[in-house]
Amino acid sequence: MSALVEAEGLATGYPGCEVGRDIDLAVAAGEVLCLLGPNGSGKTTLFRTLLGLLPAHGGTVRLAGDPLDRLPRGEIGRRAAYVPQAHAPVFPFTAHEVVLMGRTARLGPFAQPGRADHAAAAEALASVGLADRAASPYTDLSGGQRQLVLVARALAQEAPLLVMDEPTASLDFGNQALVLSEIRRLADRGLGIVLSTHDPDHAFAVGDRVALLQDGRIREIGPPDTVLTEAALSAVYGVEVRVETLGSGRRVCVPSLARPAGAGSA
């Protein structure tokens, strides 16, 4: 069975500016792949390339076995759904209306959502536990609830792959746990998920595999317990990092608060 998304020898970037190179990765159904790396390591550029929003500078991307550059935009939307960081829109759409927007990939030109589309939106909201907030303005929801609405919008596309750009960014501790729990649940239902994060602990919590990015390249890819070593994390982030094992067996990262050698005063 083909991977839901696969990149081989991929080079990413913008006109006149290469950001990433020599990238090989694949995501299967039921798997969570976490992209981890410091600011500027190329995570967002990689996502935009995997979704066809930026042309590849080299190499190949395939969605469900087919070359990405041969797929029409609508077909890409039926194979991969994008979950951006939560935001507060200007217009007070209801939660249901925001999720209904995810049906665009399933509609023809100038078509209006029908009964089946509204039912799919309602089902997606219910699946993330927000059926009772369908009529609530999106702007009135908590940060975690807004992020779950964006997840529901992606689910309404009925795509087997979710691409999530820092889904826990700017969320408080409780809302982070809420979103991470939903990510794990969706993968257990059979969806493939690739997400970016700044927190190695998130990879330990929900990741089946992690890709550690540094200077536009994948330094290593594999199970979190294998890839996220003290030496690798310290080298990538430029601070001393300890990896501790809790009594439950779960591993967590503890960065040093000491100023790195050679750092100047603020």
SS3 annotation, 186-250: HHHCCCEEEEEECCHHHHHHHCCEEEEEECCEEEEEECHHHHCCHHHHHHHHCCCEEEEECCCCC
Distance CA 170, CA 126 (A): 24
Number of C-beta neighbours around residue 89 at 10 A? 11
Q: Are 37 and 203 in contact (CB under 8 A)?
A: no
* Residue-level pLDDT at 266: 42
- What local confidence, expressed as pLDDT, does residue 178 receive? 86
Q: If you count DSSP H runs as helices and E runs as strands, how many of each does the chain have, helices first?
A: 9, 12
What tokens were used for 86? Answer: 């939560």
Helix (H, G, I), strand (E, B) or coil at 27: strand
Q: What's the confidence (pLDDT) of residue 265?
A: 45
Q: Are 88 and 38 in contact (CB under 8 A)?
A: no
**CATH code 3.40.50.300 region(s) in the chain:** 5-228
pLDDT, position 51: 94
Q: For residue 258, what pLDDT is reported?
A: 67
Q: Which CATH class is domain 5-228?
A: alpha beta
pLDDT in tens, the chain (266 residues): 579 999 999 999 999 899 999 999 999 999 999 999 998 888 999 999 999 999 999 999 999 999 999 999 889 999 999 988 766 666 789 999 999 999 988 877 777 888 999 999 999 999 889 999 999 999 899 888 888 999 999 999 999 999 999 988 878 888 888 889 989 999 999 999 999 998 999 999 999 999 999 999 999 999 999 999 999 999 999 899 999 998 888 899 998 876 555 544 44
Cα dihedral sign for 227, 233, 236, 237? positive
Which pLDDT score, from 0 to 100, does residue 264 have?
46
